[in-house]
Chain A
Amino acid sequence: MLDMALTTGVMHVTVGNVAMWLIGLFFIYLAIRKNYEPLLLIPIGFGILIVNLPLTFLMEQGRGLLWRFYHYGLEWEIIPPLIFLGLGAMTDFGPMIANPKTLILGAGAQFGVYVAFFGALILGFNVREACSIGIIGGADGPTTIYTTVRLSPHLLGATAIAAYSYMSLVPIIQPPIMRFLTTEKERKIVMKQLRPVSKREKILFPLVTVMVICLIVPASAPLMAMFMLGNLFKECGGVRRLSDAAANELMNIVTILLGISVGATMSAEHFLKLQVICVFVMGIVAFAFSTAAGILLAKFMNLFSTEKINPLIGSAGVSAVPMAARVSQAMGSEADPKNFLLMHAMGPNVAGVIGTVVAAGVFIALAG
């Protein structure tokens, strides 16, 4: 009788398993009730739940179903680049092309990445771990996952959850920092409407960008190449089917596999550690510094420019697209209802995605 009971999972449940069930259910609750990144938090929460059911062996090396998703999807570096293909097919670089200065803001908002990197080193993480933690500050989920799998896969669950949690909390984290660092007068700066961007410019952009960035930071090529290929699909207009497939069906399929694979790495023995709390703390430090750096850089640029930039768009340089741009818009219209910053903020926002990929490429090249 006892032998039979021991073949069930019930007899093997640990306190750690129960804690992870609660964490998994909490993510599912946040996704469904609070609408926090539901596309990711539901599969991640579900992955956490099932991988912590004893004797299911879902993550057993060479055998488990979720291990296969994880191994062939993430360790083989297939899923994050495919996500970037879809992102490229959904991204309009027009606002950035119309106002190339915003590229500088997108790059400047990567400052938090390096602050968190050094912070993590001080907290005792090794260089590879610090790179994975720092990249959370870029606010880009697939890039965080890609970097962590390459450099410190044991932290994957923590860094991915931190990145996606903070991205969904952008409307809560950023406004106090934005208010603190700007004056009422600055928040009221009205930026003139962006010039229209021609189709030719939009087609040339992905081609030129992929060549320039991959020549300078070759390690960013897998993400950057797919990102720009997706964008070329979108902008050239001749391959609507491919563009739609990348942005919709393919994106949805890889999102499911990504979410459940990330959740599956979060077994009790890997996740319930002090180290994970440190990852979350450094993640929010990275976010806050990236937000602040973008704003301060915009203010600095205003010292030398006749055409003033509303510093509120600087915070959109963290690449949480389009949440960070929406926050800029909301704060700008709060200061002056006639002020529309959304499209201006999309410039640094999409530039931030490129900036984070470049930062990841640098980390992988140096520490990988």
Chain B
Amino acid sequence: MKVSEVTAPMAGKIIDVKVEVGDTVSEDDELLILEAMKMEMPIVAPTSGKVKEIRCGKGDSVGADDVLVVIE
């Protein structure tokens, strides 16, 4: 089974997590909301699949390239 890792496009703060482990998502569905430079940006699913892992929580600070969600 193909696993896809969703990484942070830039450093910022996770202000919302919109999915839970086990959820089925389609491509471009919103997974998280990342805030950087006072701008809220949705992080979307790069592919359809099932959320296998969520490696961050609401309020967490993340760095660029950190793995946030794993989809299989």
Contact = CB atoms under 8 A, between A and B. Distances in A.
Interface of A: 193-194, 196, 322, 325-326, 329, 333, 337-338, 340, 342-343, 346
A196 B65 CA distance: 11
Contacts of A329: 39, 41
A340 B37 contact: no
A342 B28 contact: no
Nearest to B30: A337
Contacts of B37: 322, 325-326, 342, 346
Interface of B: 9-10, 28, 36-39, 41-42, 44, 46, 64-65
A130 to B, nearest CB: 34
B36 to A, nearest CB: 6
Given A322-B37, A325-B37, A337-B28, A343 B44 contact: no
Nearest to B12: A342
A266 to B, nearest CB: 30
Given A329-B39, A338-B44, A342-B39, 7 more contacts: A193-B9, A326-B37, A333-B41, A337-B44, A340-B10, A342-B10, A342-B36
Nearest to B42: A337
20 contacts: A193-B64, A193-B65, A194-B64, A322-B38, A322-B39, A329-B39, A329-B41, A333-B41, A337-B28, A337-B44, A338-B46, A340-B9, A340-B41, A342-B10, A342-B37, A342-B41, A343-B9, A343-B10, A343-B36, A343-B64
A102 B52 CA distance: 38
A5 B39 CA distance: 54
The 4 closest A-B pairs by CB, nearest first: A340-B9, A337-B44, A343-B10, A326-B39
A333 B46 CA distance: 13
Contacts of A333: 41-42
Contacts of A194: 64
Nearest to A194: B64
Contacts of A343: 9-10, 36, 64
Contacts of B39: 322, 326, 329, 342
B35 to A, nearest CB: 11
B42 to A, nearest CB: 7
A193 B64 CA distance: 9
A329 to B, nearest CB: 6
A325 B46 CA distance: 24
A322 B9 CA distance: 18
A194 B38 CA distance: 20
Contacts of B46: 338
Nearest to A325: B37
Nearest to A343: B10
A194 to B, nearest CB: 8
A329 B37 CA distance: 11
B65 to A, nearest CB: 7
A329 B10 CA distance: 12
Contacts of A193: 9, 64-65
B3 to A, nearest CB: 18
A53 B17 CA distance: 53
Contacts of A322: 37-39
Nearest to B28: A337
Contacts of A326: 37, 39
A2 B4 CA distance: 85
Nearest to B36: A342
A337 B46 CA distance: 9
A325 B10 CA distance: 14
Contacts of B65: 193
A325 B64 CA distance: 18
Contacts of A337: 28, 42, 44
Nearest to A322: B37
